[in-house]
Amino acid sequence: MSIRPYKSSTDGKKQQIKAMFNNIAPKYDFLNHFLSMGIDKIWRRRAIKLLNKLESPEILDIATGTGDLAIAALRLKPKRVVGVDISAQMLKVGMDKIKRKNLDHIISMVEGDSENLPFKDHEFDAATVAFGVRNFENLNKGLVEINRVLKDGGKFMVLEFSNPSSFPIKQLYNFYSTKILPWWGGILSKDKAAYTYLPESVAAFPEGSAFVSELERAGFKSEKVWKQSFGIATIYFAQKVKQ
């Protein structure tokens, strides 16, 4: 998890991630949907659906970015949704979007660090992370902190990129993620490093059974591992082990 966006910088991963997302925030939503061809919206809907048995839940969305998953969580008719992110510029874009949709009475946005969440123990019924855990500087510390703010038996959903393994999807995905994505992303965002970092961070992420082991080490019980679109992304669904 030591992959960082800016190779020439001496800043730590956390500081670089914050700077990267502040840089690309104005173009983030457009690039996110354009470069994934809109498939990310389907993944989010499927991920949120796994929480549909919760009644009026209080939900924490970590690495919320511009709030797409927090907004998708409204399908669950939650009591409240709190989005937290390290990037002030991403949160600004997110809050503007939430206000335009008249959702600020139920969704709030907080600047904060996944490894030091500004919330009480046992505060939330569910926690979610979409495309964010691979950006944690210390994966175990971040997962343990998420576990802390969940109620006993609370649900935890992670949606993250993964690496397809079957022919020809593996080869096509590798070409797209290492050649096309950095080129297009760099041109449109004016930050090529951000879109070079993306496939590098995906390749370095402990996906599948390795990530399940990380969840278990942090106090979760894995309930479902659901590959999406031939393994381009994976949804992990877990529950906080009761103390």
Q: Please report, rounded to a whole number, the percentage of residues in the chain having pLDDT higher than 90.
A: 79
Superfamily of domain 13-163+206-240: Vaccinia Virus protein VP39 (3.40.50.150)
Region 60-77: mean pLDDT is 97
Task: Give the pLDDT confidence of 194-224 residue by residue, as tens digits.
Answer: 889 989 999 999 999 999 999 999 999 999 9
pLDDT band at 89 (very low <50, low <70, confident <90, very high): very high
Q: Which two tokens stand for residue 165?
A: 């393994």
Does the structure show a pLDDT above 90 at 38?
no
Task: Give the pLDDT confidence of 123-165 residue by residue, as tens digits.
Answer: 999 999 999 999 999 999 999 999 999 999 999 999 999 999 8
Q: Which SS3 state, helix, strand or coil, does residue 107 take?
A: strand
Region 239-243: mean pLDDT is 89
pTM above 0.85? yes
Using alpha carbons only, give the angle 4, 6, 11 rounded to the nearest 5 degrees.
Answer: 75
Q: Which two tokens stand for residue 217?
A: 């080490």
30 exposed, middle or buried (CB, 10 Å; 0-12, 13-18, 19+)? exposed
DSSP 32-51: HHHHTTTHHHHHHHHHHHTT
In terms of pLDDT, which residue wins out, 191 or 58?
58
Instruction: Identify the pLDDT of residue 222.
Output: 98
Q: Which SS3 state, helix, strand or coil, does residue 178 take?
A: helix
Helices (H), the chain: 13-35, 39-49, 68-72, 88-100, 139-149, 169-175, 181-189, 192-204, 209-217
Q: Which two tokens stand for residue 210?
A: 């390795």
